[in-house]
Structure 1
Amino acid sequence: MPTKYPTLASPIQLGSLTLKNRAVMASLTRNRASPGGVPTDLMALYYSQRCSAGLILSEGTFVEEIGGAWLNVPGLYTPAQIKGWKKVTAAVHENNSLIFAQLWHLGRVAHPHHQAGRPNVGPSAVKAEGGKFRLLADSPGYVTPAPIEDPSEYVEIYRKAARAAKEAGFDGVELHAGTGYLPHQFIEARSNKRTDKWGGSVENRARFVLEIIKACVAEWGDSKRVGIKLTPAGGYNDMGDSDDDARKQYTYLIQELDKLDIGYIQFSQGFPTAGFNSLVPLDEFRPLVKNALVFNNGGLTGDIAEDQLKGKGVVGGPIHAAVFGRDYIANHNLLHVLQTGGEVKNADPALYYDTADDLSLGYTDY
C-alpha cells in the first residue's frame, strides 16, 4: 500500500492485541438490527467491508431493554443478540481486523415511550432541556428521570453486558461515557445532584464510571481489553459544566482511569457549536495519560491525523490512534483512500439510518 501517511498506516500494540494500523472506525448508529435488537447477516457484511480499519468500534449497543431512543439498535442482553453478534465478530476476524463493543445506555435522554413501561432513569431527577429524537416523534420530549436508587445495580448491568460481549466474540469493550448518556450524567454536576456516595464531590461523581470500568476489567481479565469514550466539552443532550468544574472533574477521572491501566481513552470534542464550556479535550487532558493509549475523534482528515500521531500541535505527546466516523459510511476502504490520495466520498445523510425498504441502500452498497 502507498504510504502517504506512514504513521497512520503503522501497527501498534493494544496490550496483547496488534492493531494492523492506527485508523479506528468510530461507533456509528445505523439502525439495521432486527426487532429485538438482534444483529443481522447484513450487519455482518457491513462490518466486514470496513476491515481496513485497525480497530472497529461497534455501533452503540444497549445494555438493557430500556435506555433507548432509537429503533432497530442492537443490544447485548439476550441470547439471540449474542448469537447475532457472533456472526459480526467472526466476519471481522475473517477479514483481519479487530472489534470492540461499545456499551450504551441513554439514561434520562431515552424516549419515554420506549422504556418497556418503566420510567426513564438517571442519577437525579433532573430533566435535560430540549429533546429532539431521531426517527421517533419528538413529543413529549425529554422527561424528568427517576433517580436510580442503587447505582451498583447498574454497574452489574454493565458487567453482564461486558460478559456477553466476550461470549459474542468481541476483542474488548468500550464504555460510552460521553455525549450526555447515562455514565456522563453521573460525571457532571449539571445532571448529578446526589448527596450519597455517587454524587456531591468530584470523587463521588466519578465513582459510577470507575466502578463500571473495574467490573468490565474483571469480566475480561485483561485491563487492556477495556476502553472508554469521553466528551468533556459537553454541548450535547444538555451537558457541559463550566470550564473550571469540568477541568477539575475530568482531571480526577482521567488520572484514576489511567491508574487502572485500561487499553485506551478516546477523547471527542463532541459538538462544540452547542457547547457549554470551551475546553479542547485533547489539549487539556492528553498530558495526564501515562499508561493508556490515547485515541482522538472529531473532524479528522488524513493530514490532521498524521500530524497528531507524530505529536505535531498536540500538548503532552502524540496520540496513538485516529478515530474516523462518518467517512467510513461511504468509504469502506477509507485508509486505502487516504493513503492513495483518493477522493473521500460523502455519504447521503438521508440514508444514515434505516429509511428504506432495501436496508442495504446507503449501508452496504457503496
Structure 2
Amino acid sequence: MSPLFDPIQLGGISSPNRILMAPLTRARASREAVPTPVMAEYYAQRAKAGLIISEATGISRIGLGWPYAPGLWSDAQVEGWKPVVGAVHKAGGRIVAQLWHMGRLVHPSVGQGQPVSASATTAPSYAHTYEGKQDYVEARTLTYDEIKLTLDDYARAARNAIRAGFDGVQIHGANGYLIDQFLRDGTNLRTDDYGGPIANRLRFMREVVEAVTAEIGTNRTGIRLSPIGEAQGCNDSDNHALFTAAAAELERLGVPWLELREPGPDSTFRATDEAPVSPKIRQVYSGKLVLNSDYDGHSAQSRLAEGIADAISFGRPFIANPDLVDRIQGGHGLNGWDVATFYTQGREGYTDYPLLREQEAA
C-alpha cells in the first residue's frame, strides 16, 4: 500500500489518508457571502479526502473581494455553513474553514471601501467584480488600531467556524493576500514594528495565529503559505530566508500542520523557476507538512517517500473528480476539468462531474 493511504494526525483531526482537498474558490455563495445548498452537495461528494480545506472564506466585508465567495463574519453565514459541514460529516468526511483576508486585492465595489494592506501599494492586473474586470486601486496602510480590529476579525471568524461545525480552520497566509503582503518586503514598506527586518514582518502572521489559537485552540489550527516567487504582485528579495524563518516561528507557536503551495516551472497555475523552500522548512518545522501544486498519484507517492512531505493536497483534480481518492488508489484515469465553469454560479462544472462507477456502468 502507498503511504498516501496511511492515516495521519493533523492536530486534533484524525485523517484516514494523506490525500487532502486543497482550498478552491468556486463562487457558489450568495452576494451576501452566505453558503448555498448546492455547496453541501459539492463538498459531500468529496468527503473521502483525508481532509477537506474549504474554499477561501472571508473574515470581514472589507477583507472579501471575490464575487460570490462565502464569509464567516455574520450569523447568516454561520447558519449557511451548517448544512454544508453537516453533509460532509454525514458522508464520513472532515472539513476545516480557510480564513481569508485579501488585503489590497479587494476592489471597493466588492469590499465596500478602500482596500487595506501592510502599506499603501497597488496590485497589478485587475480585480474580478460583479461589474466585470476592474483595475485595482491603491490600498490604505493599516494603522495599529486597525490591525487590532483585523485580529479580532480573524478570532471571530475562527469562533464562527466552530459554531458552524467545522473541525478546525486553516489560516490563509499565501498567494499575495493580506498576511503575505505583510510577510514580503515587496509589499511591506513599513518602518514600524511590522516592517523592515524579517523578524518584524513575521509579526502580523504571528499575531493572527495567536488570535485564532486563543479562540479555538492550537490543535484545531493550520496555516497555508506560498514560499515561491511573485504571487499577484507580491514578492520578497529572499523568499528562502523569509519562509524558513516563518516556518521556525510556526514551530515555536506549535502550529500542528502547515500547507505549502510550491509550483514549479511547468505549473498550471502561477508557475515559477524558484527552487522549492520545503527542504529548508523541513529542517526547522516538525509539524505535519502538506505540499501542493500539480501532483498526481505517482508524484505524490514519491514526495512522501522522500520524507519531506507528510501529505499532499490536490486542487484542480478534486474539481473534476469527486472520487479522486478512489481513482488514485485504483490507478484509474482522471476526468479533465472545465476552466470555463470554475467560477460560475450553477451546478454545471460543480456537482455534475461523473464518478468512476458511473462511467464504468455507461
The TM-score, its normalising length taken from structure 1, stands at 0.91
Residue 343 of structure 2 is aligned to residue 353 of structure 1: yes
1:194-243 Cα offsets, whole Å, 9 max, x none, are 1111111211110001111111111112x12111111111322101212x
- Matched residue, 2:297: 302
**1:49–1:333 Cα contact (<8 Å) kept:** yes
Map of 1:20-39 to 2, 5 A cutoff? 20-39=16-35
Residue 158 of structure 2 is aligned to residue 162 of structure 1: yes
SS at match of 1:84: helix
CA distance in 1, matches of 2:142, 2:213: 23
**2:264–2:272 Cα contact (<8 Å) kept:** no
1:293 is displaced (CA, Å) by 0.5
Map of 1:273-352 to 2, 5 A cutoff? 278-290=274-286, 292-311=287-306, 317-352=307-342
CA distance in 2, matches of 1:241, 1:49: 39
State the one-letter code of the partner of 1:71.
P
State the one-letter code of the partner of 1:259.
R
State the one-letter code of the partner of 2:290.
F
Between the aligned residues of both structures, percent identity stands at: 38
1:73 is displaced (CA, Å) by 0.7
Structure 1 residues 344 and 40, CA, compared in 2 at 3 Å: closer, same or farther? same
- Matched residue, 1:147: 141
Structure 1 residues 363 and 340, CA, compared in 2 at 3 Å: closer, same or farther? same
Gaps of 5+ in 1: 312-316
1:122 is displaced (CA, Å) by 0.5
State the one-letter code of the partner of 1:236.
A
Map of 1:57-72 to 2, 5 A cutoff? 57-72=53-68
State the one-letter code of the partner of 1:68.
L
- Matched residue, 2:119: 124
- Matched residue, 1:314: none
State the one-letter code of the partner of 2:234.
M
Structure 1 residues 215 and 179, CA, compared in 2 at 3 Å: closer, same or farther? same
**1:241–1:276 Cα contact (<8 Å) kept:** no
1:132 is displaced (CA, Å) by 4.9
SS at match of 1:198: coil
Structure 1 residues 20 and 38, CA, compared in 2 at 3 Å: closer, same or farther? same
1:284 is displaced (CA, Å) by 3.5
- Matched residue, 2:197: 201
- Matched residue, 2:261: 268
1:90 is displaced (CA, Å) by 0.9
SS at match of 1:114: helix
| Count of aligned pairs | 348
**1:179–1:234 Cα contact (<8 Å) kept:** no
CA distance in 2, matches of 1:110, 1:239: 14
CA distance in 1, matches of 2:264, 2:109: 26
1:6-65 Cα offsets, whole Å, 9 max, x none, are 211111112332101110001111111122111111101110000110100000000001
RMSD: 1.7
CA distance in 1, matches of 2:72, 2:137: 25
Structure 1 residues 287 and 320, CA, compared in 2 at 3 Å: closer, same or farther? same
**2:244–2:277 Cα contact (<8 Å) kept:** no
1:165-211 Cα offsets, whole Å, 9 max, x none, are 11111111111111000010000110011111111121111000111
**1:25–1:328 Cα contact (<8 Å) kept:** yes
1:278-318 Cα offsets, whole Å, 9 max, x none, are 2313234222212x10000001110111111122xxxxx33
1:135 is displaced (CA, Å) by 6.7
Gaps of 5+ in 2: 354-362
**1:61–1:102 Cα contact (<8 Å) kept:** yes
CA distance in 2, matches of 1:323, 1:57: 9
Say which of 247, 257, 266 aligns to 2:250.
Answer: 257
